[in-house]
Structure 1
């Protein structure tokens, strides 16, 4: 794990780990291209570590990912068992297309794959020399998928991840930088290839409905693809801070959330956005929704908010321990929350 300029990570403890590891690598002149992955350590207190994402695994139950390659499985959201993972990278996102096939991504451009519901994982990609983390992953089916991350990293696969291709979409670059790149491509082809790696923002999260993909990132970046990622267009910027999640509600509205408690809502598919006033100002990491249409926001300092009117107003349900909540899932009358100090099953509307 290494230091990434201007990269807003899931929580401050993760950023500290990144910076420390980067300094060590520099001090000892580590050749990162030849660093071999080390298997995650089986830890009795693994559920108390930093976790960044949690998802359902078909009808099997739930999977959570986090620090040092930790992946945990649970059938009921209460008892968790650690999986066998061949890497110790900080994992940032996990996705299951069904009860068996899943993928996880993280730092060192790591991509992991499972075919047994998350019990064991195989390494599909590990690139510590990139000095960049992947932040989100999505699969349309068992073969076609995409992974996105820092500094515009964008990988696609057509064979279930056996091969991942780095992809560059000029339409995701700002208009000014597009002109600059076009000129550079004619005058300095080598410089053009180098510059392409620095003109894109960090891609933080994607949400998919059918063939439409919406993606958010650094500096108010929002982009949409209507053909499963083949072509993209950037939406007009309405906020200059980083956005960490985007969610389409059951009724079709869009919500984005990011730095310092900034939340925006669109009822016209992103053509216009309304700022939503919140009772907290903590940086927000995730948005999710339960079967009743209640929408939840999670973030730093124990931030947990609920909306019962399609994201127009939010009630403060923040947790008193003040620990960052990175993501969550509804489970009956509870929420499974993944935090900087572990996985928690919390009654909705109640403090611990």
Structure 2
């Protein structure tokens, strides 16, 4: 009986598992995405890139630059103050960014030229010495303010999540498996001071060379009074993971972590008192003194206190990204950073926040350029955006849809199409100023579209759906593909020869312009194919899952499997000319061939975001799009200079009445967007004579300030208003005549 019960239990589990696989396979047929990499980091935040790039491969990627968002779109995990009023931050792909002018311009570069690991923590000791550390035991140091970096020997491949330097030489790093190590020579050598091996240390704090604390899993807190030679366990009163610790002196400190945990101590950690805060996961906490503090975390949460944590208030922001770091230079100026490269700045102590990273937001699925300056990108929620300056700036166009677009194609600067979910096709004849939906005979998701000219085009999608038009899309006719397998990409090689590719290694071909189709399987591989391209009637290429690349040099009579050097899913491929080919995919994968697809080298893209589509005008310029609003541009000639952000006007209509005046005048101005303003009066010599507002928050609308000049001499004066939000300023002349 026991054996029979066990047998039935096994059969039941097998049936459930089989049903799960069947449902998963069906769901995949209608899946909104071709990639499964999007949420891998959330499931395992310590998962590292498994494929390391060589120095040459990284250097080959130096010609790729962030166009959107600006300054970059990699997730950021740690932030620190730089030069009192600047900041630096680190994140994915060993990315390091720095600003000294509150976000008007940025230094943005990989740290040490390897670009395959993830920085988890940064510590800017002074304007020259900056340390960073992260996954695979990576520790680096810069002695010139982040321009150049040196990899420091550490002797472990475990992730490092915490670091604290008290001067340029003395510091500690900590991470998984209870790793704690100390250096007294700037990282040249390390003395290991490990805790129990099962502790994952996530936060560290030292107030001098002797006194420090670390926090980690299961509410564990340890303190030292001898520089880490010995560590003593402290009772935090919680058993949830602690992520951050901050002390302002030997007695007063705070810890933060999962499940709404924020606790305070006033006796060096002997006891910890619960503080009332929203129940979310907190990733970082910071205090400038015993009263003013901030914490950030889940779904864009920011809270602040002005009384040491007795009461906390929630700040409102426009982001929902997880925030992973927060740092304040003083009680007013601070930054918060997080997933997707989000950067927030506050000039009023955290009451309000402005977003410094700018650009179009969304998950981009397709891109197409018709000149070196003009192109379009499409993606989720009906996004269609256009650039007329090679990607530096993008303008959202009204597609009239909220459905996802998967592909876009233009035959010239005016005429184009975009296709997507539920069989949607939209068409423009004026460069995208207006988009009109075209009627199609399907509700199947369309993944690919290509036109031979302004009249003849083909679109493909789920369950083998193929649509054909001979009149620019005025009518779309469904064609029999002789398959029910999802098709992901299509290319009209000539007006008669058309190729499409799809799941399970399927290729289908038409000899008559897309009316009749013949399936063609590649027996050597069954991986899903995501993208196909031809440079001539003979030479074509298709890419897909697990690094699959197949090549034909005889018009498809036979296909050969090429060695790609990666197991990542490849999602897009493009011939630039007969020799140069590019391919993109998961985890920022970027491949390049210079022999027509016969051999491939990996190139550092500068991101770990999923890359979904690409477009090239010639061998010197191309674009790649993907997840987290990613748009990258390739410039083979080099010489690219990142744009300086031009502050947008936040104040208008500055003036005074009467003018001339004696002795009183009313200064009036209009605020276009809520901002903290500083308003000053200057004499003809440029000397400040009065400050009418100092970092005062002004709401949208008209404002007036009365001022009496009785105590001043006759002459010319100037009133200047400076926006603390983006450093925009406006100045007007005043004339005082007695």
Matched, 1:61 2:374: yes
Q: 1:299 aligns to what?
A: 585
Q: 2:420 aligns with which of 85, 88, 106?
A: 106
Matched, 1:148 2:460: yes
Secondary structure of the equivalent of 1:151? helix
Matched, 1:220 2:505: yes
- The alpha carbon displacement at 1:328 in A equals 1.5
Q: 2:491 aligns to what?
A: 207
Q: For 1:312-343, what per-residue CA distance to the aligned partner results, in whole angstroms no more than 9, with x for missing partners?
A: 11111132421111111236644311011222
Q: Residues 222 and 291 from structure 1, CA distance in 2 versus in 1: closer, same or farther, beyond 3 angstroms? A: closer
Q: Residues 267 and 166 from structure 1, CA distance in 2 versus in 1: closer, same or farther, beyond 3 angstroms? A: closer
Q: 2:688 aligns to what?
A: none
Matched, 1:157 2:469: yes
More strand by share: 2
Q: Residues 270 and 15 from structure 1, CA distance in 2 versus in 1: closer, same or farther, beyond 3 angstroms? A: farther
Matched, 1:11 2:17: no
Distance in 2 (alpha carbons) for counterparts of 1:237 and 1:296? 22
Which stretch shows the higher mean deviation, 264-273 or 220-229?
264-273
Q: 1:25 aligns to what?
A: none
Match runs of 1:264-343 below 5 Å: 264-291=550-577, 293-330=579-616, 333-342=620-629, 343=631
Distance in 1 (alpha carbons) for counterparts of 2:463 and 2:371? 32
Q: 2:385 aligns to what?
A: 72
Q: How many residues align?
A: 292
Q: Residues 125 and 14 from structure 1, CA distance in 2 versus in 1: closer, same or farther, beyond 3 angstroms? A: farther
Q: Residues 348 and 251 from structure 1, CA distance in 2 versus in 1: closer, same or farther, beyond 3 angstroms? A: farther
More helix by share: 1
Match runs of 1:173-184 below 5 Å: 173=483
Could you tell me which runs of 5 or more consecutive residues in structure 2 were left unpaired when the two chains were aligned.
Answer: 1-24, 41-356, 643-738
Distance in 1 (alpha carbons) for counterparts of 2:489 and 2:620? 27
Secondary structure of the equivalent of 1:48? coil
Larger radius of gyration: 2
Q: Residues 244 and 15 from structure 1, CA distance in 2 versus in 1: closer, same or farther, beyond 3 angstroms? A: farther
Q: Residues 83 and 219 from structure 1, CA distance in 2 versus in 1: closer, same or farther, beyond 3 angstroms? A: same
Q: Residues 10 and 226 from structure 1, CA distance in 2 versus in 1: closer, same or farther, beyond 3 angstroms? A: same
Matched-pair contact (CA < 8 Å) for 2:570–2:584: yes
Distance in 1 (alpha carbons) for counterparts of 2:502 and 2:411? 24
Q: 1:51 aligns to what?
A: 364
TM-score (norm 2): 0.37
Q: Residues 348 and 133 from structure 1, CA distance in 2 versus in 1: closer, same or farther, beyond 3 angstroms? A: farther
TM-score (norm 1): 0.75
Distance in 2 (alpha carbons) for counterparts of 1:313 and 1:213? 25
Q: What is the CA RMSD across the aligned residues, in angstroms?
A: 2.9
Secondary structure of the equivalent of 1:282? coil
- The alpha carbon displacement at 1:137 in A equals 1.5
Secondary structure of the equivalent of 1:224? strand
Q: For 1:226-269, what per-residue CA distance to the aligned partner results, in whole angstroms no more than 9, with x for missing partners?
A: 21012222224322121111122359422111011111112222
Matched, 1:135 2:419: no
Distance in 1 (alpha carbons) for counterparts of 2:358 and 2:435? 20
Distance in 1 (alpha carbons) for counterparts of 2:381 and 2:473? 22
Q: Residues 45 and 68 from structure 1, CA distance in 2 versus in 1: closer, same or farther, beyond 3 angstroms? A: farther
